[in-house]
Amino acid sequence: MRIATFNLQNLRLRHPGGGDRLDGARDRDVPGDAGPAAEALDPADRRLTAAVIGELGADVVALQEVFDAETLDYFHDRVLLPSGVAPYPHRVCLPGNDGRGLDVAVMSRVPLRAVTSHAALTPADLGLEPPDGFGPQPVFRRDCLAVDLGRLTLFVCHFKAPWPDAKAAWPVRRLEAEAVRRIVEARFDRPDRALWLIAGDLNDPEAPGSPDRAIAPLEDPFAVDLSLRMAPEERWTFRDPDTGGLSLPDALLASPRLASLCPEAVPRVVRKGLSREAGRRAGGRLPGVGDHRPHASDHAALVVELPAL
């Protein structure tokens, strides 16, 4: 089974004047991403998004920043399929806690046996102590969406970003990491012997293995960070537009049992849809990728082959 994770950067279906159009891969927080000229590039962005998914060849794709199920279905039917990508008949996007409505989602060619949202869980539900000032609110900024794929359980997450205040975001992201661990531990009698994978944008700017990582509760020995099997220079999926720094917010964290069954499973980063401003280290680009836009997303995609499944 080949599994990928991909942050689609604000995929949202709108209905201007009663019509249909998808937002492009833009945040609208820089002058060049707002206005008619930026809007005109939206369709090209989403064709590139589809092209990257086609490059992945994944059986299952964990997605982040999808507005809702209607958006996911429209993108699949009106953009992905016409681009020549084989169908993903099993799709799910449930409402999460993001104030903008950007949720996690799954597209799969493998039947989904069960789907469980954890968006409503609070720290008290999981026996966790919230950080100071957290308030009576759900743990997850979006969700921890669990889907059963035959022998494998996939947990799809999108943690709190380190912006606009990295210091304030760190304890929130640590709480989310602790919550995912509690969910996994509650799901399986022997988590170390079960087959599961945590996939998504965990938004940790620190390098894998760093003691400063907010997501440390999900790392060794609890899970195996498959990215550590990659060459160090390959461990990046995101370029900070302000500093130019490279980081790996996107993650594939395997259970010890899954990692041991797939010792040769090394993730691959697909950067062909990144803008050219991401630099030469990103490698070749898909036709049509621009200096800033059009692009598929501000994230690269991460994919791994798990031959034991």
Range of the domain at 186: 2-305
Q: What is the model's pLDDT at position 54? A: 98
pLDDT at 31: 76
Predicted pLDDT at 211: 86
The pLDDT value given to residue 242: 85
Distance CA 170, CA 212 (A): 10
Q: Quote the number of domains for the chain.
A: 1
In the prediction, which pLDDT does 290 show? 97
Give the pair of three-digit tokens for residue 87: 């169908």
Bond preceding residue 221 cis, omega within 30 of 0: yes
> What are the b/e assignments for 263-293, b being 16+ CB within 10 Å?
eebebbbbbbbbbeebeeebeebbeebeebb
Distance (Å, rounded) from C-alpha 239 to C-alpha 63? 19
Average pLDDT by stretches of 10, the chain with 309 residues: 98 96 91 90 98 98 98 98 98 95 97 98 97 93 98 98 94 98 98 98 92 95 97 96 94 98 98 96 97 97 95
DSSP assignment, residue 160?
P
Relative to beta strand 196-201, strand 152-158 is parallel
pLDDT on residue 248: 97
> Could you tell me which of 216, 229, 220 has the C-alpha nearest to residue 269?
229
Q: Is the pTM here over 0.95, yes or no?
A: yes
141 neighbors 97 (Cβ within 8 angstroms): yes
Q: CA triplet 159, 271, 53: central angle to 5 degrees?
A: 80
Alpha-carbon torsion angle 148, 149, 155, 156, nearest 10:
-120
Say which CATH number the domain at 122 has. 3.60.10.10
Would you state the structure tokens that stand for residue 233, as one six-digit string? 């220079």
The pLDDT score that the predictor gives to residue 308 is 86
Distance CA 262, CA 309 (A): 9
Cα–Cα nearest to 64, from 6, 139, 141: 6
